[in-house]
């Protein structure tokens, strides 16, 4: 018999077909030369997970509240009454407005509130980083590190701290002023800038960066593992019928977006009411404060707590609000 493959290979211009050696089927085992077959390693449990699952009780421990109004209605006073509730202590106020004189009422526990005076946007970032660390150390029960950080920031000897602060409430007063600091930073305006020195006017690029930065600020404070109470000024627009529509005083879409970050948005108003003094025919004027938490008028408001069936609080304080929304209390460490 003639070998045709060799014959074709010897003919000029005729390519020889490559010889294909059949391969054995792959084995699930690993063959190491000179060693017996090794079975594949079993799958191990994943050490890191992309997310965690919380119970409804763990999700609902802390209140995220935004209260807005014109100046002088009592936003800071309302937030400060958190110090009257043991489960909300300790309380720290991030003071952007230097308007904490209202927190000097002997009928309330305002003397228990710690304050951080903020004069620029960068300091707001450092305060948020500290509070995030504080929450972690607090939940871990790391007393020594809590004492060390408190000693550094309060500038007192660590030996004088018997029990460190356990902050469970942060008041940011106010978002309107925080946004102004953000724009100052973008425009290069600092404490050393003279008041008669001309500064650049914000343009579209600055407004876009301001929007993103303030949005991140609100989110980062909201995500702290504590009660977070925001105050904000009031702004308004007029519709086609010249009616006023009130909302938080933040630039552009931030006004609506900030409301989506929190559980409750309250619109505060004050108005004089007449009350007849007992035993007298004359009436006297008193100031009544009301905080709407449902949009029943031409203003923005909301309440995510189904346990509260009303639309507003009269002369509110934090005790009244916490009781009405039936928020679970937090046990101290």
> Under a CB-based contact definition with an 8 Å cutoff, are residues 210 and 189 in contact?
no
Strand pairing category for 227-232 and 244-248: unpaired
- List all residues 6 or more positions away from 96 whose beta carbon is below 8 Å from its beta carbon: 118, 124, 172, 173, 174, 177, 178, 181
Place of tokens 């702290």: 224
Is there a domain that residue 222 lies in?
yes
Residue of 82, 76, 84 lying closest to 106 (CA atoms) = 84
Alpha helices in the chain (DSSP H): 4-10, 56-59, 75-80, 121-140, 143-154, 175-187, 204-222, 254-260, 318-325
- List all residues 6 or more positions away from 169 whose beta carbon is below 8 Å from its beta carbon: 82, 83, 88, 89, 90, 91, 92, 226, 227, 228, 229
- List all residues 6 or more positions away from 69 whose beta carbon is below 8 Å from its beta carbon: 75, 233, 234, 267, 268, 269, 270
Structure tokens at 326: 């039936």
Cβ-count burial 89-124 (b if 16+ within 10 Å, e if not): bbbbbbbbbebbeebeeeebbbeebeebebeebeeb
pLDDT of residue 297: 92
Is there a domain that residue 308 lies in?
yes
CA of 314: how far to CAs of 50, 218, 262, 271, in Å? 44, 27, 21, 11
Is there a domain that residue 136 lies in?
yes
Range of the domain at 239: 60-325
Is there a domain that residue 27 lies in?
no
Helix (H/G/I), strand (E/B), else coil: 200? coil
Rounded Cα–Cα distance for residues 94 and 161 (Å): 22
pLDDT of residue 24: 56
Is there a domain that residue 167 lies in?
yes
Structure tokens at 222: 């909201």
pLDDT of residue 274: 61
- Backbone φ, ψ for residue 179 (5° rounding): -65, -35
Q: How many domains does the chain have?
A: 1
Is there a domain that residue 25 lies in?
no
Residue 253, phi-psi category: left (phi > 0), alpha (psi -120 to 50), beta (remainder): alpha
pLDDT of residue 332: 47
Residue of 185, 71, 165 lying closest to 118 (CA atoms) = 185
Rounded Cα–Cα distance for residues 179 and 124 (Å): 11
Rounded Cα–Cα distance for residues 70 and 189 (Å): 26
Is there a domain that residue 44 lies in?
no
pLDDT of residue 178: 96
Structure tokens at 151: 């000693």
pLDDT of residue 40: 57
Helix (H/G/I), strand (E/B), else coil: 275? strand
pLDDT of residue 61: 83
Rounded Cα–Cα distance for residues 165 and 143 (Å): 10
pLDDT in tens, the chain (333 residues): 445 445 454 455 555 555 666 655 554 555 555 655 555 555 555 567 888 787 665 555 899 999 999 998 999 999 999 999 999 999 999 999 876 777 888 899 999 999 999 999 999 999 999 999 999 999 999 999 999 999 999 999 999 999 999 999 999 999 999 999 999 999 999 888 898 888 888 999 999 999 999 999 999 999 999 999 999 999 998 878 888 999 999 999 999 999 999 999 999 999 877 655 554 555 566 778 999 999 999 999 999 998 899 999 999 999 999 999 988 655 444
pLDDT of residue 333: 43
Residue of 164, 163, 137 lying closest to 226 (CA atoms) = 137
pLDDT of residue 331: 47
CATH number at residue 75: 3.40.50
Q: How much is the pTM?
A: 0.80
Kindly tell me the sign of the dihedral angle through the C-alpha atoms of 205, 70, 119, 259. negative
Strand pairing category for 64-68 and 227-232: parallel
């Amino acid at each position: 018999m003639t070998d045709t493959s060799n014959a074709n290979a010897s003919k000029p211009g005729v390519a020889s077909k490559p010889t294909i050696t059949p391969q054995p089927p792959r084995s699930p085992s690993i063959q190491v030369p000179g060693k017996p077959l090794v079975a594949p390693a079993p799958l191990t449990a994943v050490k890191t997970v992309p997310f965690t699952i919380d119970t409804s009780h763990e999700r609902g421990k802390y209140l995220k509240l935004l209260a807005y109004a014109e100046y002088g209605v009592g936003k800071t006073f309302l937030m400060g009454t958190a110090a009257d509730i043991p489960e909300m202590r300790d309380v720290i106020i991030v003071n952007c407005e230097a308007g904490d004189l209202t927190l000097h009422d002997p009928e309330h526990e305002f003397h228990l509130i710690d304050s951080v005076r903020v004069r620029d946007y960068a300091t707001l970032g450092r305060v948020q980083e500290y509070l995030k660390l504080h929450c972690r150390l607090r939940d871990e029960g790391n007393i020594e590190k809590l004492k060390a950080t408190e000693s550094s920031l309060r500038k007192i000897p660590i030996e004088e701290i018997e029990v460190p602060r356990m902050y469970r409430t942060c008041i940011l007063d106010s978002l309107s002023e925080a946004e102004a600091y953000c724009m100052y930073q973008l425009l290069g305006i600092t404490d050393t800038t003279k008041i008669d020195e001309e500064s650049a006017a914000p343009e579209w690029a600055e407004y876009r960066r301001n929007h993103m930065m303030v949005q991140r600020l609100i989110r980062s404070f909201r995500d702290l593992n504590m009660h977070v109470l925001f105050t904000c000024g009031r702004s308004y627009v007029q519709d086609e019928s010249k009616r006023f529509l009130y909302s938080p005083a933040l630039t552009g879409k931030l006004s609506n977006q900030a409301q989506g970050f929190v559980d409750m948005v309250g619109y505060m108003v004050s108005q004089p009411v007449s009350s007849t003094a007992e035993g007298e025919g004359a009436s006297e004027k008193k100031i009544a404060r009301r905080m709407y938490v449902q949009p029943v008028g031409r203003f923005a408001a909301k309440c995510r707590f189904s346990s509260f069936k009303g639309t507003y609080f009269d002369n509110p304080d934090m005790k009244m609000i916490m009781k009405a929304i039936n928020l679970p209390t937090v046990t101290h460490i």
